[in-house]
Structure 1
Amino acid sequence: MADPGQDIPGGFEVDLGALSAAISSVTAEQTNISGSLDEIRLKMNGLPESWNSPAYSSFDEVRAWFGTASTSVLDLLGDLIVRMQTSYDNYAEAEGTNVGNLTT
């Protein structure tokens, strides 16, 4: 069986600092996106009071679509964050074990 890192040019390396920074960045963007979606939702909730036209008949359908799409994108980002954090934790644990093996 081939060495696991053999097929990767230059070997295999994980930059835990960069991964941690990426997790923080994606988490911050998820929070920003969630806030923006909440603002849009609030504005949409105020529309029925002042919207009187035939086009309004499709509004509930659009509002339902927006709710589903908003939930989907936030769930996707949440799943991404969980997977990134799991990867970070796994690599950090493996590196800690490797360092421990060198010092014993």
Structure 2
Amino acid sequence: MTLVAVALLAVGTYAFRLAGPLLHGRFQPSADMRRLLSVGTAVLLVALLATAALTQGQGFAGWARPTGVLTAAVLAWRRAPFMVVVAAAALTTALLRLAGVP
């Protein structure tokens, strides 16, 4: 059963990737559809970020990780270099955990 599921996912992934080059130039989405896809992409990324930042296993991840993510978000919004954003988020989370904040 697992092998069948993996094979179906592989075929689906290949078909999805093949659809781009095959449909290029034949399908022009409307301006509203492009805007909706752009907004949908942003919403999906924010939902994934929130899930990863706030949960661990089946429960709340504690306050250290969301604080680190918030630090990264503020620095990214202020257009800090990527390495500074990552280092500050990691340092914030580590220092909070060292101080005993879960």
Fold-level match, TM-score > 0.5? Answer: no
Larger Cα-atom Rg: 1
Larger fraction in helix? 1
* TM-score normalised per structure 1: 0.28
Q: Which has the higher contact order (CA 8 A, sep 6+)?
A: 1
